[in-house]
Structure 1
Amino acid sequence: MPTVHNLAERLDEYLSKEKVARIKRAYFYAEQAHEGQMRRSGERYITHPLAVANILSEMHMDHQSLMAAMLHDVLEDTAVSKEAIVEQFGEGVAELVDGVSKLTHLEFESKLEEQAENFQKMVLAMSKDIRVILVKLADRLHNMRTMGSMPPEKKRRKSRETLEIYAPIALRLGINDLRVELENLSFESMYPLRASRIRSAMRKQLGHRKEVVNHIEAALAERLKQEGINADVKGREKHLYSIYKKMREKRKSLKEILDVYAFRILTDSVDSCYRILGVVHNLYKPVPNRFKDYIAVPKTNGYQSLHTTLIGSNGVPIEIQIRTRDMEDMANHGIAAHWLYKTDETQSNQTHARARRWVKNLLEMQERAGDSMEFIENVKIDLFPDEIYVFTPKGQIMEMAKGATPVDFAYAVHTDVGNSCVGCLVNRKLAPLSQPLTSGDSIKIITAPGARPNPAWLNFVFTAKARSNIRHFLAHMERQEAIALGKKLLDSQLRNFDRDIDSLLPDAFETVLSESNLKDRESLFEEIGTGHKAVYIVARRLLQLSSSEEVITEQSSLTIQGTEGLLINYAKCCRPIPGDAIVGVMSKGKGMVVHVEHCRNISDIRDNTDRCVHLHWDKAMEGEFLVDIRVDLSNARGVLASVANAVSHAEANIESIQMQDMDATTSRLNITVSVTGRTHLGRVFKRLHSLPAVSKIERV
């Protein structure tokens, strides 16, 4: 059983005597606080904080992180307060401990919600100090190592949470050693049978593999020696979970995956890495399109290496990674190397800056998300797909998630660029905003003042940042539009009595607000605009409170301008177009739906002044509206083409067309056409009537 004295000996290698003494003091403080507490396995509770500190010492973390590791469960499981920790160990350690501590005093609807809330709190703490997540990861790793005594259901839940959130975070921060162990432990807990099968298959193949690995290793080392390059060659074992994931994702058998031999070559300088690449490509034939240069363009988490795949003697596939020894340490320790390599500030600072940028993105997502569950879903999307590398118009490289679209790129540049995006040029050619980007694309976003996100973007955007920004903007915009529509409806109703909103008594508004349990006028307008309150009733009550006369309200008429946005929708049953007599029906939560006055679907509520508003079109109304028409015609060769041609000559577009045979000589076309109004529709009818084959046309 490791003791605090064993830990102190290891820490003496890289920390001063005074700092080691402070860590020991934190240990004894925690030991006293946890006195009498036991783990489920029967061990004293203090063994857990000590083990977490040991994991962090292997990463060469600083003394404050190790002190926080010792104290990380003190706030949650004992009577010690945060103020007491501040007094004993200082503000920095107390903040770290608080960040790692879970939320325990809130009532949650479900375990999922509890995890989501915990993760939100952790993100906030991470934004102040990135070390919080490193202590949390070490804590999770030790819990995963000692899960033997837990009930199976809890094991599976913890393992799933680790695979979905904690292992990807370790990957994002570049801490590969820790990530691999977290993945393997989770995999074994979730699928013990699959894990044991894969492990026994690997053991069976080990004898045969060893011979081949030694042969290739010797050939590579010999060739590098001949070229005078100082480098170490070592065989690389694939770990359990990565084998399982490859089998599932690439639909490969275990034999196919184990037949690939993997090696890592470590050297002293970047220059030597590229020389080694030339040497191995001369020794064995490279596989086309399987070379990746992560030294020139590092991965998001700071990982750097050259990757290549070769075909060895007897057709054996060989995967090779070439990197410097510093890059190897960065790959294994990632952000933790920031504290390990104080000497190499440039490399560690780049990794640190990347991690900070990621945490900043998480915070932005958190502000935009509706609740903690939406936030954690967004984070899972972002944890962390393969990257592609694209160029801005000025030639800067940007890392994007694989599958990202130009809209994702626009939001990655800046939220305002995404919100005002109207089009894009990909490799100097116009491209759809939904087109997935590929590595090497050059993207220019076209923006327009007054443009705003389209709800349809949510169907294709890939990154969590774009998704949360679009949702946030639409929710905000919908509220503003509901307020504007509600105010307009109320004003229109009041104008029948030569009154307006400003002429009403303030006390009248206060009374209506208190009767409705609303906090301000904007909330009242929003309720009217979204159809939750009938404008007729609100107007009548306001007029009653503002004057002593009996109020007899008449139905007013409201002007539709076409720029009202999301809160005014056009009914699909009757497809109203400018020039039609129209009625607005208030629908709860959806705002106003515009119908043609004689539409059958509203016949029973047309006279209900609570729900229906008389409307008229603005004279300057612009835009295109869909209308359904039915055309009966005689069968003849090329008749469909002549109908399409006639509609086109009337400067209208066919959106959809369906043809059905009525009898041997007659067919019926159901066409959806986009027009600007009744006059334009009249021109379409005139063109169609001029065709000899057409016998009857009607608007549906």
Structure 2
Amino acid sequence: MMRQYELVERVAAYKPNVDEGLLNRAYVYAMQKHGAQKRASGDPYFSHPLEVAAILTDLHLDEQTIAVALLHDTIEDTDATRKEIDQLFGPRIGQLVEGLTKLKRLELVSKKAEQAENLRKLLLAIADDIRVLLVKLADRLHNMRTLHHMREDKRARIAQETLDIYGPLAGRMGMQGMREELENLAFRHVNLEAYETVTARLNELREKHAGTIAQIEETLTQRLAESGIEAEVSGRQKKPYSVFSKMQRKALSLEQLSDIFGFRVIVASEEDCYRTLGIVHRTWPLVPGRFKDYISIPKQNDYRSIHTTIVGPSRQRVELQIRTREMHEVAEYGIAAHELYKDGVPQDGPADRLRSESSAFAWLRRTIEMLSEGETPEEFLENTKLELFQDQVFCFTPKGRLIALPRGATPIDFAYAVHTDVGDTCVGCKINGRIMPVVTELANGDEVEIIRSKASTPPQAWESVAITGKARAAIRRATKMSIRKQYSGLGQQILERAFARSGKTFSKESLKPYLSKVGHKEVEDALASVGRGELASADVLRAVHPDFQDSRAVKPAVKSEEEGWFGLRTAAGMIFRIPGRSKSPKSPEEKPGALPIRGTGNDLPVRFSPDGAVPGDRIVGIIEPGKGITIYPIQSPALTDFDDEPDRWVDVRWDLDAEMSTRFPARVRVSAINEPGTLAEIADTIAQNDANIHNLSMVTTAPDVTVMMIDLEVWNLPHLMRTLNQLRARTCVTDAVRVNG
């Protein structure tokens, strides 16, 4: 175990003016607090924070970060408190330590939700100070190095979490060396058989191509020296997990991978990078399509380098990475290699300065934006993983703005990456000047122009097409707002009608002072609650007018044969006119203000009763709390079940386009002679009439007669009646009628 003076010496080696007092206090405090605690390996627990601190000294981080590493488990695992740490080490270090503390005693419904909440807290703490992430990654790295001491079930869970979150998170922050070690340590525990197989094959290939690697290294070093370029050339081999994941992702064999072997060429300047590239391409043939210039267009994690793949002397594909020393530092250590950490971090924290100097914060800022959208923990975790795992594709706006997106992104993701309003109003797109579907997968270098309409809202189906968390969250939010708007409009109609029955006038302004009485903070929320059937209009009426007396008793029906309708008059004065069979007065669907019903594709959840309804039927809607509106034909006997619930009745009308090709449900009962071929004849008749059988069941079967209940899909009422007449005309059919018709 590293001693106190050894830790100070490690920091002093790269930071001569080290604050020894801070490190000594943190060392002694953490050792005393952890006391006799033991790890699963049997080692003193204090050895863990000490090793975490040692990992961070390898990254040449400041003494504040090293102190946080020593203290990072004290609040969680000892009797230390945030207040005590603030007093001894200052509020900034106390804040960092608390940011690393897991959520304890959190009552969550699942392990997945707990994992997501811990990730939320970690990312919020990172947004305030990136050093939280550096300590957390070092903490996870040491835990992975000692994971073999844990129980098998716990090993599998921690290793999978490392592959899902912490490895990709290190990569997103540019810390490639730490990412590779985390993923390979986890790979061993998640899939030992695959790990051993890939490792063995890599060892075989290394031995097989050892001569080729040495030859390329020698030739390249000589050619660069002849051109006056000082360079450090080193061979490398891809790590087992990286090889395995690429084989799975691209469905390739190990021999088909082009970058198992590679070289890093480190030169003095950016100009030398491009000169080296020319020498490489003049010496060995280039593999077409395998050249990437990340110096001109850096990755979002600040990675800069030139990648090219050549065909080596033995026809083996070999990748070369050409970069400067500074680029190499960033490639290996990411944010930890930033100049901000070379001479220590100011007391006010590095977050603001780092944001302006490092594009690695771009992804983090987008992720933090999702935290404010009120997503469930599971949705947040899913979207975060989606963004962590994706490679990048670079596209441009018509004005030349560069937009970096995950590979596989569509114009929908592009639109939301530009701005949420652009995504919400997107109706189409042009890719490289051509109108293309919004589900087209984007490629590097595409110029994307978004076609917008202020009257548009994103279809809910886009959520399954979008691959970025930002786009999915925005589409989900826009869909909720659209449905809320529909419900609030319906709720306003219901309240206006209820207030009018009582001789009152409803307005949104009159409701505002009484929102607390109905359990809502905004008028639109209250209206939507009424529209969904969750809040009774009578309760709103009583809240605004306390003297209102409600009586839901339904008086006997009043029937008028002359007018051809019968009605229900409630004590509150509300009348529902239901057309009778003797005459046809003005039908409900002709009423101004009736809710238009298309039957399918409406934002407001609409469904049909089991017996169905077709265009041409007079219809009425019944609000189903939490489910939407159920449409019944006006003659349906099922409507009597809602006689004493007037608030649930809604005027509805058909609203169909002439070109609309949508079938609607209708249930019919067919009585037929029980003999071979009868069912086929009935089905043939229905097919000849362009109707569709959705479901069929035998209700009763006797020796002579069979009664069938058939759920049909038809265009409209005349189509249904024509189909029934054709069925009755068949000699094998004794009767065919519409159920409840």
TM class by shorter-chain length? Answer: 0.7 to 0.9
Deviation at 1:283, TM superposition (A): 1.0
Q: Deviations over 1:218-250 (max 9, x none)?
A: 122222222222212211121121122123223
- Residue 669 of structure 1 aligns to a residue whose secondary structure is coil
Q: Deviations over 1:344-401 (max 9, x none)?
A: x9xx958953233222211111111422222111101111301111111111211111
Residue in 1 that maps onto 2:396:
391
Say whether the 8 Å CA contact 1:424–1:430 is kept in structure 2: yes
Residue in 1 that maps onto 2:620:
583
Residue in 1 that maps onto 2:327:
327
Q: Which moved more, 1:236-245 or 1:490-499?
A: 490-499
Say whether the 8 Å CA contact 2:53–2:69 is kept in structure 1: yes
1:449 aligns with 2:470: no
Residue in 1 that maps onto 2:649:
613
Deviation at 1:583, TM superposition (A): 0.8
Give me the whole-angstrom Cα distance separating, in 2, the residues matched to 1:185 and 1:358: 26
Q: Residue 567 of structure 1: which of 591, 600, 604 is its match?
A: 604
Deviation at 1:571, TM superposition (A): 4.3
Q: 1:215 to 1:522 in 2, by over 3 A?
A: closer
Q: 1:661 to 1:610 in 2, by over 3 A?
A: closer
Deviation at 1:440, TM superposition (A): 1.4
Give me the whole-angstrom Cα distance separating, in 2, the residues matched to 1:590 and 1:612: 12
Give me the whole-angstrom Cα distance separating, in 2, the residues matched to 1:246 and 1:138: 26
Q: 1:482 to 1:8 in 2, by over 3 A?
A: same
Residue in 2 that maps onto 1:234:
234
Residue in 1 that maps onto 2:490:
485
Q: Deviations over 1:422-471 (max 9, x none)?
A: 32222222222222222111112223334322212112111100101121
Give me the whole-angstrom Cα distance separating, in 2, the residues matched to 1:201 and 1:504: 74
Residue in 2 that maps onto 1:532:
534
Give me the whole-angstrom Cα distance separating, in 2, the residues matched to 1:351 and 1:237: 35
Q: Deviations over 1:563-597 (max 9, x none)?
A: 997336364985665x8633112122133244553
Residue in 1 that maps onto 2:266:
266
Q: TM-score, normalised by structure 2?
A: 0.78
Say whether the 8 Å CA contact 1:302–1:350 is kept in structure 2: no
Give me the whole-angstrom Cα distance separating, in 1, the residues matched to 2:664 and 2:620: 21
Q: Deviations over 1:191-221 (max 9, x none)?
A: 2233233333333444332222111211222
Letter in 2 for 1:613: W
Say whether the 8 Å CA contact 2:394–2:403 is kept in structure 1: yes
Q: 1:258 to 1:628 in 2, by over 3 A?
A: closer
**1:617-632 alignment runs, 5 A limit:** 617=653, 626-628=661-663
Q: 1:257 to 1:520 in 2, by over 3 A?
A: closer
Give me the whole-angstrom Cα distance separating, in 2, the residues matched to 1:249 and 1:454: 30
Residue in 2 that maps onto 1:472:
477
Give me the whole-angstrom Cα distance separating, in 2, the residues matched to 1:18 and 1:227: 43
Say whether the 8 Å CA contact 2:394–2:445 is kept in structure 1: yes
Residue in 2 that maps onto 1:4:
4
Q: Deviations over 1:527-565 (max 9, x none)?
A: 331133565898799999514999354334772354997
Letter in 2 for 1:669: D
Deviation at 1:82, TM superposition (A): 0.8
Say whether the 8 Å CA contact 1:301–1:351 is kept in structure 2: no
Q: Residue 441 of structure 2: which of 436, 460, 466 is its match?
A: 436
Q: Residue 690 of structure 2: which of 655, 664, 669 is its match?
A: 669
Give me the whole-angstrom Cα distance separating, in 2, the residues matched to 1:350 and 1:476: 33
Give me the whole-angstrom Cα distance separating, in 1, the residues matched to 2:89 and 2:509: 62
Q: 1:568 to 1:372 in 2, by over 3 A?
A: closer
Q: 1:324 to 1:17 in 2, by over 3 A?
A: closer
Q: 1:352 to 1:69 in 2, by over 3 A?
A: farther
Residue in 1 that maps onto 2:247:
247
Say whether the 8 Å CA contact 2:408–2:441 is kept in structure 1: yes
**1:15-34 alignment runs, 5 A limit:** 15-34=15-34
Say whether the 8 Å CA contact 1:504–1:542 is kept in structure 2: no
1:407 aligns with 2:409: no
Q: Deviations over 1:506-542 (max 9, x none)?
A: 99989xx87x877887665433311335658987999
- Residue 404 of structure 2 aligns to a residue whose secondary structure is strand
Q: Deviations over 1:2-43 (max 9, x none)?
A: 323222222112224442331222111111111121112111
Letter in 2 for 1:615: D
Q: Deviations over 1:231-274 (max 9, x none)?
A: 12211121121122123223333444599532111111111111
Give me the whole-angstrom Cα distance separating, in 1, the residues matched to 2:177 and 2:159: 17
- Residue 162 of structure 1 aligns to a residue whose secondary structure is helix
1:94 aligns with 2:61: no
Q: Residue 554 of structure 1: which of 570, 574, 580 is its match?
A: 574
Q: 1:279 to 1:7 in 2, by over 3 A?
A: same
Letter in 2 for 1:560: A
Deviation at 1:488, TM superposition (A): 1.3
Give me the whole-angstrom Cα distance separating, in 2, the residues matched to 1:517 and 1:536: 14
Q: Which moved more, 1:374-383 or 1:352-361?
A: 352-361
Say whether the 8 Å CA contact 2:73–2:101 is kept in structure 1: yes
Letter in 1 for 2:94: A
- Residue 319 of structure 2 aligns to a residue whose secondary structure is strand
Q: 1:541 to 1:141 in 2, by over 3 A?
A: closer
Give me the whole-angstrom Cα distance separating, in 2, the residues matched to 1:292 and 1:9: 42
**Over the residues paired in the alignment, what is the CA RMSD in angstroms?**
3.9
- Residue 236 of structure 1 aligns to a residue whose secondary structure is strand
State the percentage of identical aligned residues.
35
Say whether the 8 Å CA contact 1:483–1:525 is kept in structure 2: yes
Say whether the 8 Å CA contact 2:212–2:312 is kept in structure 1: no
Flag structure 2 segments of 5+ consecutive residues without an equivalent. Answer: 345-349, 554-570, 577-587, 666-681, 693-714, 720-737
Give me the whole-angstrom Cα distance separating, in 2, the residues matched to 1:628 and 1:247: 47
- Residue 286 of structure 1 aligns to a residue whose secondary structure is coil
Say whether the 8 Å CA contact 1:493–1:555 is kept in structure 2: no
Flag structure 1 segments of 5+ consecutive residues without an equivalent. Answer: 631-659, 672-680, 686-698
**1:85-484 alignment runs, 5 A limit:** 85-257=85-257, 260-338=260-338, 339-341=340-342, 352-484=357-489
- Residue 368 of structure 1 aligns to a residue whose secondary structure is coil
Deviation at 1:62, TM superposition (A): 1.6
Q: 1:580 to 1:568 in 2, by over 3 A?
A: farther
Say whether the 8 Å CA contact 1:265–1:320 is kept in structure 2: yes
Give me the whole-angstrom Cα distance separating, in 2, the residues matched to 1:244 and 1:552: 72
Deviation at 1:494, TM superposition (A): 3.8
Residue in 2 that maps onto 1:694:
none
Q: 1:273 to 1:492 in 2, by over 3 A?
A: same
Q: Deviations over 1:50-73 (max 9, x none)?
A: 111111111111221111001101
Give me the whole-angstrom Cα distance separating, in 2, the residues matched to 1:477 and 1:352: 39
Give me the whole-angstrom Cα distance separating, in 2, the residues matched to 1:95 and 1:262: 43
- Residue 289 of structure 2 aligns to a residue whose secondary structure is coil
Say whether the 8 Å CA contact 2:292–2:306 is kept in structure 1: yes
Say whether the 8 Å CA contact 1:419–1:451 is kept in structure 2: yes
Give me the whole-angstrom Cα distance separating, in 2, the residues matched to 1:434 and 1:291: 27
Letter in 2 for 1:153: D
Say whether the 8 Å CA contact 2:12–2:18 is kept in structure 1: no
Letter in 1 for 2:296: A
Residue in 2 that maps onto 1:647:
none
